Amino acid sequence: MGKKVLLIAYHYPPSVEVGGLRCSNFSRHLPRFGWTPYVLTLKDEYLDKADPEKLNYVGDVEIFKAGRMLTLSHVYVGIKRMAQRLFRKTNEPGTPSDSDAGVGESSSRVAETWPQKLRRYILSFLSLPDEQRNWALPAVIQGIRIIQREKIDCIFTSSPPYSVNLVGWLLKAITGVRWIADFRDPWMTGGSKKLYMTCAASLGIERWLERRVIQKADLIVANTEMLCEAFKKAYGSQLPDRFVCITNGFDGELFSSFGPVEKEKVFTITYTGTLYFGRTPEPLFQAVRELIQEKRIDAQAIRIRLVGHCQFISGRSTGEIVQAYQLEGIVEVLDPVSYNRAIEMVRQSQLALLLAPNQPYQVPAKAYDYMGTGTKILALAEDGATCDLVRSTGIGAAFRPSDTAGIKEFLLRSMKQDCVSIQSKNNGPVSEYEIQALTRRLARYLDSFSSPAVSAERVGGSGNAA
């Protein structure tokens, strides 16, 4: 009988969420290493956006789905929206409602009134550990059925959302199955939850939850070296061999299947995705405007494309910002396109724009897609995992958003030279991030779990250099 693993992920195709890429890549390639993958994810009816085309790249995998339960926070939001509709006429035009403010807006206030503090405390518990926690119980029930019926050898949970970790914890406690907890982003270690409504009590509970997850899982996988080291620093004295790093990557076979494309005749910089979490292309806008004003480049010689959910930057219309930088006719804001079309547009471009502000422990998943296209990357990020990746592999250049001079000089150099394929120049470093090689590493850890003679600690120890 073959070895079986259940991949548990809230985001998975046909969901367009980038968080689904990691498990879909693993599910596609695990069979070649002797493991039959099963997937447990969210029912399609709850997806905000879906792209059925993405299912073409998950491989021959059986997908199970669980729904969501109604929670008090849903009731609260429903009542709030009803009240807003009833009393909207009393609001002055242009006055932001609560929904216009960030979820963590209370942390930026100079002082809170008692009603505001009470509201924050209530909301912090209604969204603990996240808004997706109402999927956890249905997922646990479905997971027990799958584990028992399919004789699953190991489960692999991928978070965020953080409540997916609770699914893994409960499934292990109930069934005794081996459990690998995968962290695509920091939770409490290396994270602050600044995008969530929190209070001291809720943060304390979440720190306890993270600690229990770390203790109960057989192996902890981080997707960047910096996050892995943060876990080791926080928990290494108790669990020195529990942590390994398996980065995200790109599917070399998939990218090689795309036909050849011609680069745009006008020097083009393309960004694909969503402008959220403080991501802004304004440092690039500033650099391009200065180069044009200094007459170092011609306005007709460069184009910037923002493809996806890019109509607003920090709540302000992108069109207004473009106008403020006097870049009309240079910057294009395009609606979302299919995954294949987005990849094609990046391949046709001379540079791919990568934004990773205030994310020292994370690398945006699109960085690896960009890597797969062979298009040079211009990364705007502070020192951290993203800068380390771009610089160590030679796939482009990384600058602090404030380094306008550095961005300008890089643009000038790039416009004066042929943007050759990064694979042809750096085949060694780039090949390390092919998903086939990364899946092989995951399969080795799974193989160790399937052998009674090898303990979880020894599994973790074999990955210390990861």
pLDDT tens per residue, range 14-31: 998 888 999 999 999 999
pLDDT tens per residue, range 172-222: 999 999 999 999 999 999 876 777 788 888 889 999 999 999 999 999 999
Contact assessment for residue 195 and residue 277, using Cβ atoms and an 8 Å cutoff: yes
Give me the phi and psi of 302, to 5 degrees please.
Answer: -140, 150
Architecture of domain 3-69+131-249+436-461: 3-Layer(aba) Sandwich (3.40)
pLDDT of residue 161: 94
Of 100, 374, 88, 363, the residue nearest 252 (C-alpha): 374
Contact assessment for residue 55 and residue 79, using Cβ atoms and an 8 Å cutoff: no
259-426: same fold as 3-69+131-249+436-461?
yes
* C-alpha span between 35 and 32 (Å, rounded): 7
pLDDT, mean of residues 156-170: 96
* C-alpha span between 172 and 162 (Å, rounded): 16
* Average pLDDT of the residues of the chain: 86
pLDDT of residue 75: 59
pLDDT, mean of residues 313-323: 94
Tell whether domain 259-426 is in CATH 3.40.50.10490.
no
pLDDT at 106 > cutoff 60: no
* C-alpha span between 10 and 157 (Å, rounded): 9
pLDDT at 406 > cutoff 60: yes
pLDDT at 361 > cutoff 70: yes
- Tally Cβ neighbours within 10 Å of residue 452: 6
pLDDT of residue 110: 52
pLDDT of residue 359: 85
The H or E element containing residue 306 is strand 302-309
Q: How many residues does the chain have?
A: 466
pLDDT band at 423 (very low <50, low <70, confident <90, very high): very low
pLDDT of residue 389: 95
Domain ranges (residues) in the chain? 3-69+131-249+436-461, 259-426
pLDDT at 323 > cutoff 60: yes
pLDDT at 344 > cutoff 50: yes
pLDDT at 108 > cutoff 50: no
